[in-house]
A and B are shown apart, each in its own frame.
Chain A
Amino acid sequence: AQKVTQAQTEISVVEKEDVTLDCVYETRDTTYYLFWYKQPPSGELVFLIRRNSFDEQNEISGRYSWNFQKSTSSFNFTITASQVVDSAVYFCALSEARRGYQKVTFGIGTKLQVIP
């Protein structure tokens, strides 16, 4: 069975600080996808990034960057120069291929509070 662990349940940072959200996963599949979603207080899950298991290249998108390390089964997410609007719950997720669909397993989420 697959599993996603987000050890940090809550993090508080002061605006403009950098923050890294940790994600460790377990799977027996050789082909899988990893995701990060943001859930603001309104409740909608906003897709941020998808990474497949064969692509270990790090990615940067504006203030967001992701570090995928297969050797340690980690897919960490860094926000540079955090802003108040970054306050949300962030979910790391892992999908495994099933017949006709991808079954997504979410971590418990990390609640990020950015203090002005």
Chain B
Amino acid sequence: DAMVIQNPRYQVTQFGKPVTLSCSQTLNHNVMYWYQQKSSQAPKLLFHYYDKDFNNEADTPDNFQSRRPNTSFCFLDIRSPGLGDAAMYLCATSRDGQETQYFGPGTRLLVL
């Protein structure tokens, strides 16, 4: 089945230790998104890629970076995680910029 896959499902890191979250998709969608969802809050868009074109939301901290080496994969890098970065990180894809976004299962990040 075509789908959006996120690895790992749970990630524990230490304060200040860089961490990378992974997203892959078999849908062949052009657009990939990263959202941050803190406990009992709505998902918040961090950035997205349209093909290789990277777009940052204005209020996304510099601590968050992303890479998209090819159509199928997208990575979220957190350079120096703080306690406030503990959250669920959701990856989503859409066929093009105007279509419905489909979400992966998320990676729950814990910062110690």
Tally of contact residues, B, Cβ under 8 A:
25
Determine whether A60 belongs to the interface, using a CB cutoff of 8 Å to chain B.
Answer: no
Task: Indicate whether A102 sits within 8 Å of B42 (C-beta atoms), given known contacts A43-B105, A44-B105, A45-B103.
Answer: no
Interface centre among A45, A98, A107, A108 (most CB of B within 10 A): A45
Interface residues of B in 45-87 (CB under 8 A from A): 45, 48, 50, 53, 55
Assess whether B102 is in contact with A106, with CB atoms less than 8 Å apart.
no
B100 contacts which chain A residues (CB < 8 A)?
A: 35, 47, 50
Assess whether B48 is in contact with A43, with CB atoms less than 8 Å apart.
no
Tally of contact residues, A, Cβ under 8 A:
22
Assess whether A101 is in contact with B105, with CB atoms less than 8 Å apart.
no
- From B42, B88, B101, give the contact of A43 (CB < 8 A): B88
Assess whether A106 is in contact with B105, with CB atoms less than 8 Å apart.
no
Determine whether A100 belongs to the interface, using a CB cutoff of 8 Å to chain B.
Answer: yes
B98 contacts which chain A residues (CB < 8 A)?
A: 97, 101-102
Listed in ascending order, the chain B residues whose CB lies under 8 Å from chain A are 31, 40-43, 45, 48, 50, 53, 55, 88, 90, 92, 94, 97-106, 108
